[in-house]
Structure 1
Amino acid sequence: MEMGRIRLTGETLNLKELEQIAVHRASVEIGEESWSRVRMARELIFTLDKRGVAVYGLNRGVGWNKDKKVFSQFYDRYNRNLLRSHMIGVDPECTEEEVRAMLAVRLNGFLCGHTGVSAEIVEYYLEFLNRGIHPVVKKRGSVGEADIGTLSGIGLVIIGEGEAWYRGERMTGDKALAAAGLEPLLLGPKDGLGVVSSNAQGAAFASLGLIEARQFIERYRRVFCLALEGLNGVLDPMDPSVNRERRFGGQIESAKSCLEILKGSYLFDPSEDRALQDPLSFRGQSAVTGAVMDALTYAEEQLETELNSTDDNPCLLPEEDRMCGSSNFEPLSWVLAVEMVSTGLAHMSKMICQQLLRIGDPGFTKLNRFLTPEEGAVIAYGTIQKTFSCLDAENRMYANPCSLDFLSMAGHIEDLATNATMASCNMRKIIDNLYYIAAIELMHAAQAVDLRKPPSLGEETRKLFEAYRKVVPFLCEDRNLSCDIEKTYEFLKEYNVTIHSHAKTEVL
């Protein structure tokens, strides 16, 4: 990665680079070695066809039609019909960021050299990313065993059909191509199948979700530390020696990070008013958050394997001069990891809600009930518990595994599925809800700090507190709390923090 330009090779794409392409719109380039693999796979397609070898998606149909012949004079018509008939998704539509991630994931998959699509198809994925042509793709319609019901939206634009966004304007596919100086492509053998038979949508959603999860955790840690200062909490659970003896990497990192955030805080000084031990929701924060971090690390490893390997069926093997039917589109290895992350995030949701209940309780804080500045006159946060309880219930629902919920389809040929896209979307819904719950905790934490007036805050928590108070003032009188929640949510999602991930320092 250099000068905002990402080189795709089919072997080296990581989540950070995918984020640069999808979110920050970095341009993309392809090396000659990768192009060579694409051409070799394409040559093998024609060689096999000339030999009369039956090839799924080339001279034979797909799904239940796997035994139906497709004759060479009908290749373009067949592939067009394949794209049209597979355009079955329903709203909502994917965002442009999501579509860019999908384009990048599938493009990198082509470069593995096992798909067999034409070089022109690969070139158009590259051009779509670099010229900002973003096909309209439906978010729902995949069962997560290759996203054949949704990725067709990309293929239709390639042939001048469908719709796309270009320079902020929605238009038909042919107009988008013309505006960008491109022409619709004619499709050859296996081109249609190569476009639709991929887990690019689910993998893109999962990748973006894992990126978002790490960003959320880094922001939440600062909110938690400010809440701990509002509570006058205990730092013992973050002791390096204690966590070292526990040996879990995520827990060690989480405790260390919180101590760095709190550097300079009054919590390092003894206090007669401080409890011997805090409730488990505060005491166990490093352990719970650390467990999620460990799950994230595992999920990232699984996803990066997915991003840099073929998920094509059949799998072309140019070096061996053959192709082989496969189940390489089976994504369960990383879908299980995504569902594990979702479970961990739901645990975090429950933990934060418990923290909120404690920080509004004078039995734990020795501050006024619900952090009111004037008991009997100002209600303050007396009813906001209903909001985070509702959001937490949603998170519990989204964390429920959906990879087991599928039907037998395509004449019982396709009798396994994973709901990969749904699992990934559910994880991202949890993260968005967590931002709201953490926003409510930030409201409480800042109010508690204002009421307590501690002698000093941590270096990072002070920055958070001061920046936040420029957006949402101290609650001195009851006001519309929905507005405060929304402002705090937006503030938290945009708050810049420095994180340490995979030995790299990153700024969010």
Structure 2
Amino acid sequence: MNKNNLVLTGKSLELKDIEAVACGKRKVEIDSKTFENIVECRQLIYELAESETPVYGFNRGVGMNKDREVMGKYFSEYNRNLILAHCVSVGEPASEEVTRATVLARLNSFLIGCTGIQPEIVLMYRELLNREIHPVIPSKGSIGEGDIGCLSHIGLAIIGEGEVIYKGERMASDEALKKEGLTPIILGPKDGLAIVSSNALSSGKGALVLNEIERLVDTLDLIYALSLEGLRGNVTPLEEKPCEYRGFLGQKKSMQRVRDLLEGSYLWLPGVTESLQDPLSYRGSCQVHGSLRDALEYTREYLTLQLNTSDDNPCLLKEERRIISCANYEPTTWVLGFEMLGVALSHVSRNACYRTIKLANPKFTGLSRFLTPSDTRVIAYGTIQKTFAALDAENRHLSNPTSVDYLSLAGDIEDRGTNSVYVVEKTGKIVDNIWWILAIELLHASQAIDLRKATKLGKGTKPVYEAVRKAVPFLEQDRNLTKDIETVYCLLKNGNLLNI
């Protein structure tokens, strides 16, 4: 066993593990005792196959066809047909990172032992990750009660009838499996439903989004601190004592970070600011960022629970030697967390826009209009506001809840939905838009600091300011600002500024 590999048990997968495997290509292994349990569960499936007891998706059909009997001699054909019939998703394929996160999420939940899936499929999922064979998964087609229309394409790939991305090339899955010396899976009892009935696409992608939000919220504090120096703002709202009386955990963390970042800044010198109270977008930034932290903490807790528990229906109860229908596929608790994050992010987005507007206004800064170095010669940031206004408008609409928008399907028996995949996707879009908005704010903050000739910056803000100026020079003459925005966006999104 390679000590650098991630060992999966079904019970200890963390969000950072998802990112390491999905984005960093970390290899995975399966705990030996856990795998023994998978083998035992499969043996129980074979025993139950001889029973006359009706079981959903096992010896009976699924959805409206739950009353259709499936004869033992047709298990292989039925499960293959189930995979094919559920290959209904459309649209652009999930990225390789999201696909890897999805495969990992489902592999980990296999290991809990409630699926009864054949051990060969478990091993195949491991090999998909370790050999970088990535099934092509069209991303649109899940209503959020199990991502069945999307996950079926993983099933299609492992039986050698789908498509994969292998070493950067899209090809037939049987060709890729052959290149790696792997044999396509022959499906047996319950395998089809075990493959498709899971929320692994939304939860896997959700883990990647949450990891990005964690980087985003730390970056928010950093850019706010720089903007405060650009504004020559009032730092009394950062004092510790009032925050102690409030007690909100996220707010306390953001405020402590900003105080640390501004340690040694000129803002703490007596008489620096003439403002008794800054605009709310500055005075309450730590509170707004703290709200995002609190929402993130809630969602992280329940998504981690999702990743380390069974969402299978029906559920195999090994100890009781039976398999029963349930509603463990229901993801509303953590989907609501993403809806909450969308609203919190929209607040963050709007607040950052107002901070930037204030930096361009001489009424609040005492500096030139739109931070121009020459009123008569250079327009500077006079037009750039339209960009962040457009991005913020998009964020506002993306933050609208969609988990309540669903239809009654499958002959009115499937009358629930959460749209979990789309909820996660739109949350990720808001995050990406905010990186652009923050890039524009950071350009303003740096320009204001230069115009103010503020050399005594905080111990945390100074190296960031210097990194920005190394990448984007002071705006002395009008130039193509799209390039400047993109340069700073890349600095922010890749997390480099947090590691200075």
Tell whether the structures are fold-level matches, with TM greater than 0.5: yes
Q: One-letter code of the match for 1:75? A: F
Question: How far apart, CA to CA, are the structure 1 residues paired with 2:151 and 2:128?
Answer: 14
Instruction: Point out the more displaced range, 476-485 or 346-355.
Output: 476-485
* Residue 236 (structure 1) aligned with residue 270 (structure 2): no
- Give the C-alpha shift of residue 486 in structure 1: 1.3
Instruction: Point out the more displaced range, 468-477 or 400-409.
Output: 468-477
C-alpha contact 1:218 1:497 (8 A) present in aligned 2: no
For residues 282-323 of structure 1, the C-alpha deviation after alignment (integer angstroms, 9 at most, x for no partner) is 110111100110110110000011001000000000001111
Alignment of 1:382-401 (within 5 A): 382-401=382-401
Alignment of 1:275-290 (within 5 A): 275-290=275-290
- Give the C-alpha shift of residue 466 in structure 1: 0.9
C-alpha contact 1:229 1:457 (8 A) present in aligned 2: yes
Question: How far apart, CA to CA, are the structure 2 residues paired with 1:301 and 1:63?
Answer: 31
Q: One-letter code of the match for 1:8? A: L
Question: How far apart, CA to CA, are the structure 2 residues paired with 1:4 and 1:353?
Answer: 43
- Give the C-alpha shift of residue 40 in structure 1: 2.5
Alignment of 1:487-502 (within 5 A): 487-496=487-496
For residues 133-162 of structure 1, the C-alpha deviation after alignment (integer angstroms, 9 at most, x for no partner) is 111111111000000010111111100011
Question: How far apart, CA to CA, are the structure 1 residues paired with 2:326 and 2:484?
Answer: 53
Aligned to 1:87: 87
Aligned to 1:152: 152
- Give the C-alpha shift of residue 242 in structure 1: 1.5
- Give the C-alpha shift of residue 36 in structure 1: 2.3
Q: One-letter code of the match for 1:323? A: I
Alignment of 1:201-240 (within 5 A): 201-240=201-240
Aligned to 2:485: 485
Question: How far apart, CA to CA, are the structure 2 residues paired with 1:248 and 1:41?
Answer: 46
For residues 209-251 of structure 1, the C-alpha deviation after alignment (integer angstroms, 9 at most, x for no partner) is 1111011111222111111100001111111111111101100
Question: How far apart, CA to CA, are the structure 2 residues paired with 1:130 and 1:304?
Answer: 23
Q: One-letter code of the match for 1:290? A: G
- Give the C-alpha shift of residue 273 in structure 1: 4.2
Aligned to 1:267: 267
Question: How far apart, CA to CA, are the structure 2 residues paired with 1:261 and 1:180?
Answer: 50
Q: One-letter code of the match for 1:76? A: S
Question: How far apart, CA to CA, are the structure 2 residues paired with 1:18 and 1:408?
Answer: 33
The TM-score normalised by the length of structure 2 is 0.98
For residues 96-123 of structure 1, the C-alpha deviation after alignment (integer angstroms, 9 at most, x for no partner) is 1101110110001000000011000100
Aligned to 2:125: 125
Alignment of 1:214-363 (within 5 A): 214-363=214-363
Secondary structure of 2:55's aligned partner: coil
Aligned to 2:446: 446
For residues 329-355 of structure 1, the C-alpha deviation after alignment (integer angstroms, 9 at most, x for no partner) is 000010011111111011000100110
- Give the C-alpha shift of residue 2 in structure 1: 8.2
Instruction: Point out the more displaced range, 48-57 or 410-419.
Output: 48-57
Aligned to 2:463: 463
Q: One-letter code of the match for 2:368? A: N
Aligned to 2:377: 377
Q: One-letter code of the match for 2:80? A: R
C-alpha contact 1:109 1:310 (8 A) present in aligned 2: yes
Instruction: Point out the more displaced range, 187-196 or 82-91.
Output: 82-91
Q: One-letter code of the match for 1:180? A: E
Aligned to 2:138: 138
Alpha-carbon RMSD: 1.4
- Give the C-alpha shift of residue 3 in structure 1: 4.5
Q: One-letter code of the match for 1:428? A: G
Alignment of 1:1-20 (within 5 A): 3-20=3-20
Aligned to 2:413: 413
For residues 438-480 of structure 1, the C-alpha deviation after alignment (integer angstroms, 9 at most, x for no partner) is 0000110111111111131112211111111121111111111
Aligned to 1:174: 174
Question: How far apart, CA to CA, are the structure 2 residues paired with 1:236 and 1:77?
Answer: 71
C-alpha contact 2:157 2:163 (8 A) present in aligned 1: yes
* Residue 426 (structure 1) aligned with residue 432 (structure 2): no
C-alpha contact 1:266 1:456 (8 A) present in aligned 2: yes
C-alpha contact 1:118 1:188 (8 A) present in aligned 2: yes
Question: How far apart, CA to CA, are the structure 1 residues paired with 2:203 and 2:418?
Answer: 12
Flag structure 1 segments of 5+ consecutive residues without an equivalent: 499-506
Question: How far apart, CA to CA, are the structure 1 residues paired with 2:442 and 2:214?
Answer: 18
C-alpha contact 2:315 2:323 (8 A) present in aligned 1: yes
Question: How far apart, CA to CA, are the structure 1 residues paired with 2:108 and 2:222?
Answer: 36
C-alpha contact 1:87 1:150 (8 A) present in aligned 2: yes
Secondary structure of 2:150's aligned partner: coil
Q: One-letter code of the match for 2:126? A: L
C-alpha contact 1:40 1:113 (8 A) present in aligned 2: no
Question: How far apart, CA to CA, are the structure 2 residues paired with 1:83 and 1:155?
Answer: 6
Instruction: Point out the more displaced range, 270-279 or 7-16.
Output: 270-279
Q: One-letter code of the match for 1:46? A: Y
C-alpha contact 2:55 2:324 (8 A) present in aligned 1: no
Secondary structure of 1:412's aligned partner: coil
C-alpha contact 1:203 1:306 (8 A) present in aligned 2: yes
Question: How far apart, CA to CA, are the structure 2 residues paired with 1:22 and 1:104?
Answer: 8
Aligned to 1:503: none
Secondary structure of 2:28's aligned partner: strand
Question: How far apart, CA to CA, are the structure 2 residues paired with 1:222 and 1:252?
Answer: 15
Q: One-letter code of the match for 2:167? A: R
- Give the C-alpha shift of residue 414 in structure 1: 0.3
Q: One-letter code of the match for 2:445? A: A
Q: One-letter code of the match for 1:441? A: E
Instruction: Point out the more displaced range, 427-436 or 204-213.
Output: 204-213
